[in-house]
Structure 1
C-alpha cells in the first residue's frame, strides 16, 4: 500500500510539475479553454494574437462565449469581417490593461479607492473596476456593467480575469 501511494504521489508530482513549467501565454490559456472560442476567433480576426503572445505583462478581462452571445449575432458577425478589423481591435484592446493585476491587487486597490478604481486599457480608454453588492464589476465608458466571474487564470505573460459581458469603448 505504501508503495502504491508513493507511485501515485510521484505520478501526480511529475504531471503537475510539467504542467507548471510548460505554462503558456495568456493566448494559449484562452485557446485551451472552450469557453473562450469566440474570443480567440475575434483575436484572430483583429490580428491581435501575436501582440498578446508578447512579453507583456498583460491583464485581460476575457469575455466568455456566453458574454459574446449577448451581442446581436448580426453585429458580431459584422465585427469579424476584415473591413471592421479596426473597430474590433478597439473593442478587444479595451479588455486589456498593461501590467499583471491579480485579484489580490484589485481588492487592495478597491479598498484604497473606496470601492472604485480606474484602469487605462490598451486602447487608451478608461475601465472602472468597482465593488457592488459584494461582487466585483467592470463599468465601461457607456455605463454598462460586466461582472468578474473568475480570476487569476495565469499565463506566462500575464493574467486573465473572466467576465460575463463584453465591455464597449466609446
Structure 2
C-alpha cells in the first residue's frame, strides 16, 4: 500500500471512530438519565411495585416473569390496566394462564417489556427525531410503534392494536413502569 492510500485509510478510520464515539456518548448520556432516575427510586423492584392482585402481575407470575421483574434489570415495563385485559375476547386471558399456554402468555408478556430504562421523555424525543414515530424493540423480539396523539404517547403493536400511556415514569430500583390502557399483542407467528 502506498503512503497516500495508507494515510487516507488511517484518516477514514479516525473519522469513523470519532463518529462512533460521539454516537456512543449520546446513547450513554440518554441512558444515564434513566439510570439516575432508577438510582433515586430506592430498593423497590418492578415486581414489588406492580399491583399483586392485578391481571398484569398474575399473568407475569404465570409466565414465570415475576422473578425476572424482581431481578437487577434494568427494564421498562408497559403495564396494561385491568380494564385493558377485560377488553380481550372472553376467556382469552384465562386460556393463557393455563400451563399448556405458557409459551403464548410469555410472548404476550415480553411484548410489554423493553430492555433498559426508557422514560416517557426518551420515547417522546425518539418520536420527534423519527419525524412522528419511533420503533421500540421489545424483549419478546417484537416491535412497538410509538406516536403522538395530541399530548399523549400512543403505542401500536404489529396487529394495529393501540394503547395510550396514561401514567408514565413510575421509577423503581430495576427500571420503570409505564401504565397503558390496552394490551399490546405480539405479531402473529409466520
Q: Tell me the TM-score normalised to structure 2 length.
A: 0.74
Asked if 1 retains the 8 angstrom alpha-carbon contact of 2:119 and 2:176, the reply is: yes
Q: Distance in 2 between matches of 1:41 and 1:145?
A: 22
Structure 2 counterpart SS, 1:31: coil
Which residue in the other structure is 2:186 paired with? 169
Where structure 1 has 5 or more consecutive residues not aligned to the other structure, the ranges are 1-19
| 2:95 corresponds to 1:78 | yes
Structure 2 counterpart SS, 1:60: strand
Which residue in the other structure is 2:46 paired with? 26
Which residue in the other structure is 1:125 paired with? 142
Which residue in the other structure is 1:13 paired with? none
Where structure 2 has 5 or more consecutive residues not aligned to the other structure, the ranges are 1-39
Q: Deviations over 1:76-135 (max 9, x none)?
A: 111111110110000000000001011111121111111210011001111111112332
RMSD of equivalent CA atoms: 1.5
Structure 1 moving runs of 4+ over 3 Å: 20-23
5 Å matches for 1:127-166? 127-166=144-183
Q: Tell me the TM-score normalised to structure 1 length.
A: 0.82
| CA distance 1:46–1:31, change in 2 (3 Å) | same
Paired residues in the alignment total 148
